[in-house]
Amino acid sequence: MSSSAATRIRLLPAMALTVFASAPLGAQETPPPAANTAEQAIDEARDAYGPPPPNEECRVEQDAATITGEIIVCRRLGDQSEYRLVTPSEATKRYAEETMNEGNPKTPDFISDCHDQGWPAGCVRVGSVPPPAYIIDFDTLPDAPPGSDADRIARGLPPLGRDVAPVRPENSAATPEGSASPEAEQ
């Protein structure tokens, strides 16, 4: 390798350091962009997001109505910019976010009580233990008396209706048995 090539190789890192170090310094010397005033920012926003200009069709129709004698009912559009807070696309997006899950039930949280047991891998449960079943031994039940409705139903016959409890008359329910009724005392 020649001595000029070796010198170039030694100078290469120094030149690279000079180039890279001067770039941030040059960026700091550029003047900052002119700042907008609040009024300019509001005017730009009003132009970008404000309502469209009022429709001129009404004026044309009114001029034609003056000539023909027709009555034209037309509303005047006021300045709508004072009523608009967000752009229509932002309003649509906000409405979609607010009504996204409306009417949809939320998924159940089956492990809400497993936090004490080392959640999320502490326990995995679905549902609960069913209530105990009642155990009835039908052999211990007494047999139905012969001739009763229960006996007839057990043999597949229709009940006769003789096992119905007797119904007391309305006025006898108020007086105990063996006592005189108020009508009898009179």
**pLDDT score of 81:** 61
Task: Specify if 76 maps to a domain.
Answer: yes
**Angle at Cα 90 formed by Cα 84 and Cα 92, nearest 5°?**
100
Share of the chain above pLDDT 90, in %: 2
- The H or E element containing residue 173 is helix 170-174
List CB contacts of 26: < 8 A, sequence separation 6 or more. Answer: none
- pLDDT, position 87: 77
Give the Cα separation of 136 and 154 in Å (integer).
Answer: 18
Specify if 171 maps to a domain: no
Residue 66 lies in a domain: yes
pLDDT tens-digit map of 6-27: 666 676 666 666 666 666 665 5
pLDDT of residue 33: 64
Average model confidence (pLDDT) for the chain? 71
Range(s) of the domain holding residue 65: 45-86
In this structure, is residue 21 part of a structural domain?
no
How is residue 116 written in tokens? 């004490």
- Residue 71 inside a domain? The answer is yes
What domain count does the chain have?
Answer: 1
| Residue 74 belongs to a domain | yes
Residue 101 lies in a domain: no
Would residue 19 count as lying in a domain?
no
